[in-house]
Amino acid sequence: MKRIESKLNTASAGFQANAAHNRKLAEEFKEKQRAVRHDRPQRDIDRLRQQNKLLVRERIKLLLDPGTPFLEFSSLAANEAYDGEVPGAACVTGIGIVSGREVVINAGDASVKGGAWYPLTVKKTVRALDIAIENRLPVVHLCDSAGGFLPLQADLFADKYMAGRIFRNQCMLSKMGIQQVSVVLGHCTAGGAYVPGLSDYNVIVRGTGAIFLAGPPLVKAATGEEVSVDDLGGCDMHTSVSGTADYPASSEEEAIAIARDIVAQFKRPQKAHTEWQPPEEPYYDPSELYGVLPQDIKQGFDMHEIIARIVDGSRFHEYQPNYGKTLICGYAHIWGYKVGILANNGVLFNDSSLKGAHFIELCNQARTPIVFLQNITGFMVGKEYERRGITKDGAKMIMAVSNCEVPKFTVMCHGSFGAGNYGMSGRAFDSRFTFSWPQSQISVMGAEQAANTLADVKIRQLARTGKKLSQEEIDAIRDPVLGEFKRKQSAYWSTSEIWDDGIIDPADTRNALGISLSAALNTPIGDPRYGVFRM
């Protein structure tokens, strides 16, 4: 493959200004992430220490193989919810290496509201188990939760993708022969009792671990029976009487060591075959991505420069370079894995939509995973393009994306607006992993367009009654819409709502994709099949 020739002048004032701006955004993101991971009221830390408990990240460190990476999901989940009082949505999820095996880790964070499940805790947990199902990854559950947060029970209990989906997903994993280990480090109460109950193996810590459908206070209220935690659902009872738990442990360290030993017995999966070659660092420094990205979301830039700083050797075989130029398509390698890449260099026209659909078919036929690098304002609109069939051609691309059998990976690099998000494998289209960069934005349309559209509708409504609005009255309609759109199209809102699998530093994109590609190949790639393409 030919190396991309960068056209950037990294010494230019514009590049340096962009770099300074985006480095600051990356630093702000990392500080937010640090606070979410580590800042807790001292009373909560003291409470856990008095119970001889480790903090959740101390537990994960003991679980992971030393020196191996941990790809954390949705680290800033719930950052815009619950008045900011539930950092990380009260749980930590991600992919790590345990005893040489890739596993999904699902860990309750008892330093946040006792590890209580909020609606976004449930959504984050369900997503982690979806990832385990899609990529056939074993799961290690580190269980320590106060149960569902009762004041919000209506938002976490009854519907299809609420708490019951956690247990359904556990059952699906078992049906697929994908093993799960639970380490009971605290109380598993009510529905939470089914997490270890539905696992293939579980370990429970004497004195702090407990499993029961109702704790002692509720048992007394319901039946009048008085019973201690240990007698009701403690370590010795469950490992010697009920058989609900398998392995007793005298400490968290011992319990996690047992879990590591259990995972070491798991059969290693046969990876799906895809072309691979020895990895090669990009020729261009990935940290230069900060200077590539413009400060204004509406300003265009050449996505070849992004690709050059992510792929092996900065080498790229471009497909149809002279046709449909607003969509870049081609082949490269990331950490040795061959991938197809689709990257936006402008609005999707008829030709670029057809080019994208055809290239997706080629990747699917060759069993080549696909990476979508989004910077898209949408499909082109207007009389001329409708007459050419832009709706029909856009539908072809969406059909190809939806029916794709190979693993897909999506990175929100800049803007992601309108149906362009769909054509470029947005969240609804089952990418194995979706990541956002700190400055990226996503919404049905840009904030200014939305505000102007709503103001224009109101003006025309009033014009029919003979009333004309002053500029101040127009601004009073427009400005609140503009402010709300800007707030809710930011990457921080998206990741808070778990519309992605986490914000990542642009310079870390290559590593995140490498881990994701490796994990995805645990699942066999099916034969290409498509729906009906409207011709």
Q: Of 334, 339, 373, which is closest to residue 506 (Cα–Cα)?
A: 373
CB 432 within 8 A of CB 405: no
The residues with which 166 forms a beta bridge, in sequence order, are: none
Q: Which two tokens stand for residue 510?
A: 């290559």
First to last CA, the chain: 34
Instruction: Give which of 367, 366, 343, 365 is closest to 355, Cα–Cα.
Output: 343
Q: How many CB atoms lie within 10 A of CB 281?
A: 11
Residue 469 has a pLDDT of 77
Alpha carbon 349 to chain centroid, angstroms: 29
pLDDT at position 421, please?
A: 96
User: What phi, psi does 170 have (nearest 5°)?
Assistant: -60, -40
Per DSSP (E only), the strands in 153-305 are: 180-184, 187-189, 201-205, 210-212, 247-249
What distances in angstroms separate CA 401 from CA 161, 408, 426, 442, one per listed residue? 24, 9, 10, 19
Contact yes or no for 377/348 (Cβ under 8 A): no
Looking only at the bridges linking them, the beta strands covering 180-184 and 139-143 are parallel
Which helix (H) or strand (E) segment is 107 a member of? strand 101-108
Match 């995805």 to its residue by tokens. Answer: 520
Question: Alpha-carbon distance 533 to 411, whole Å?
Answer: 26
Per-residue pLDDT of the chain (535 residues; tens, 9 = 90+): 999 999 999 999 999 999 999 999 999 999 999 999 999 999 999 999 999 999 999 999 999 999 999 999 999 999 999 999 999 999 999 999 999 999 999 999 999 999 999 999 999 999 999 999 999 999 999 999 988 998 999 999 999 999 999 999 999 999 999 999 999 999 999 888 999 999 999 999 999 999 999 999 989 999 999 999 999 999 999 999 999 999 999 999 999 999 999 999 999 989 999 999 999 999 999 999 999 999 999 999 999 999 999 999 999 999 999 999 999 999 999 999 999 999 999 999 999 999 999 999 999 999 999 999 999 999 999 999 999 999 999 999 999 999 999 999 999 999 999 999 999 999 999 999 999 999 999 998 877 887 788 778 877 887 788 877 788 888 888 888 788 888 899 999 999 999 999 999 999 999 999 999 999 999 999 999 989 998 8
Q: What is the dihedral of CA 75, 78, 82, 85, to 10 degrees?
A: 0
Report the distance separating Cα 58 and Cα 164, nearest Å: 29
Name residue, tokens 């790590």: 96
Helix and strand element counts for the chain (H, E): 20, 16
Q: Which residue matches tokens 């982690």? A: 128
Write phi, then psi, for 116 (nearest 5 degrees): -60, 145
144 vs 184: CA distance, rounded Å: 7
Residue 248 pairs in a beta bridge with 204
- Per-residue 3-state assignment (H helix, E strand, C coil) for 323-351: CCCCEEEEEEEECCEEEEEEEECCCECHH
Amino acid at 168: R
Quick check: 282 and 309 in contact, CB under 8 A? yes
β-pair partners for 104: 95, 139
As a dihedral over the C-alpha atoms of residue 469, residue 471, residue 473, residue 477, rounded to 10 degrees, the angle is 110
**pLDDT reported for residue 452:** 81
pTM, to two decimals: 0.95
Q: What pLDDT score was predicted for residue 451?
A: 77
Q: How far apart are CA 507 and CA 13, in angstroms?
A: 21
Question: Where is 70: in which H helix or E strand?
Answer: strand 70-73
Other C-beta atoms lying within 10 Å of the C-beta of residue 71: 25
Q: Which of 290, 414, 359 is nearest to 16 (CA)?
A: 290
Look at strands 370-376 and 433-436 and give their pairing.
unpaired
- Residue by residue, what is the 3-state secondary structure of 72-92? EECCCCCCCCHHHCCHHHHEE
Tokens of 395: 């539908």
C-alpha torsion angle, residues 402, 405, 411, 413 (rounded to 10): -60
pLDDT on residue 45: 96
**Exposed e or buried b per residue across 243-257, where buried means at least 16 C-beta atoms within 10 angstroms of its C-beta:** ebbbbbbeebeebbe
pLDDT on residue 473: 80
Q: How far apart are CA 105 and CA 180, in angstroms?
A: 10
* Structure-block tokens of residue 302: 């050449």
What lies within 8 Å, CB to CB, of 202 at 6+ separation is 181, 182, 183, 184, 196, 244, 245, 246, 247
Q: For 94-154, where are the alpha helices, taking DSSP H only?
A: 119-135
Tell me, rounded to whole angstroms, the distance of Cα 178 from its chain centroid.
21
In eight-state DSSP terms, residue 273 is P
Containing 96, the helix (H) or strand (E) segment is: strand 91-98
